[in-house]
Amino acid sequence: MSTAHILVVDDEPDIRDLVKEILEDEGYEVSIAENGASAREARRARRPDLILLDIWMPDIDGISLLKEWAEADGLPCPVIMMSGHGTVETAVEATRLGAWDFIEKPLSMAKLLLTVERALEADKLARENQGLRRHARPVTEPVGRSEVIQRLRAQAGRIASHDAPVLIAGEPGTGKEIYARYIHAQSPRRAGPFVDVGVGSIARENSALELFGSEDGDRVHYGRLEQASGGTLFLDELADMALETQAKLAGALENGSFLRVGGKEPVQVNVRIIAATHRDLEAEIAAGRFREDLYYHLNVLPIRLPPLREHPEDVPELLTYYVNYFVDQENLPYRNFTMAARNRLRNYGWPGNIRELKNLVQRLLILGGGEEIALEEVESAISHSAPARPREPVGAIPLDLPLREAREQFERAYLTQQFKECDGNVARLAEKVGMERTNLYRKLRALGIDPKRTPEDD
d(CA 36, CA 64): 9
Q: Does domain 309-385 sit in CATH 1.10.1060.10? A: no
- pLDDT of 145 > 70? The answer is yes
**Separation in Å, CA 302 to CA 53, 167, 185, 276, 404:** 44, 5, 18, 10, 25
Same fold, 5-131 and 149-306: yes
What average pLDDT does the chain have? Answer: 87
- pLDDT of 218 > 90? The answer is no
Q: pLDDT, tens digit, for every residue of 317-353?
A: 999 999 999 999 899 999 999 999 999 999 999 999 9
Of 90-104, 212-226, 309-323, 376-390, which range is least confident?
Answer: 376-390
**Separation in Å, CA 234 to CA 77, 165, 166, 276, 394:** 21, 10, 9, 8, 38
Query: How big, in percent rounded to 5, are the helix, strand and coil portions of the chain?
Result: 50, 15, 35
Task: Classify domain 5-131 by CATH architecture.
Answer: 3-Layer(aba) Sandwich (3.40)
Question: Percent of the chain scored above 90 by pLDDT?
Answer: 59
Q: pLDDT, tens digit, for every residue of 35-60?
A: 999 999 999 888 999 999 998 888 88
- pLDDT of 119 > 50? The answer is yes
Query: What is the predicted pLDDT for the residue at 243?
Result: 93
Query: What is the predicted pLDDT for the residue at 114?
Result: 94
pLDDT bin (cut points 50, 70, 90) of residue 129 is: low
DSSP letter string over 97-148? TT-SEEEESSP-HHHHHHHHHHHHHHHHHHHHHHHTTT-SS--SS----SHH
- pLDDT of 401 > 70? The answer is no
- pLDDT of 227 > 60? The answer is yes
The residue ranges of every structural domain in the chain are: 5-131, 149-306, 309-385, 403-457
Query: What is the predicted pLDDT for the residue at 412?
Result: 82
d(CA 391, CA 367): 31
Rounded to an integer, the average pLDDT of 86-92 is: 77
pLDDT bin (cut points 50, 70, 90) of residue 398 is: low
Q: Does domain 403-457 sit in CATH 3.30.70.890? A: no
Query: What is the predicted pLDDT for the residue at 369?
Result: 83
- pLDDT of 171 > 80? The answer is yes
Greater model confidence, 353 or 84? 353
Q: pLDDT, tens digit, for every residue of 272-331?
A: 999 999 999 999 999 999 999 999 999 999 999 999 999 999 999 999 999 999 999 899
Superfamily of chain region 149-306: P-loop containing nucleotide triphosphate hydrolases (3.40.50.300)
- pLDDT of 430 > 70? The answer is yes
Query: What is the predicted pLDDT for the residue at 130?
Result: 60
- pLDDT of 12 > 80? The answer is yes
What residues contact residue 450 under an 8 Å CB cut-off, 6+ apart? Answer: 444
Bridge partners, 37 (sequence order) = none
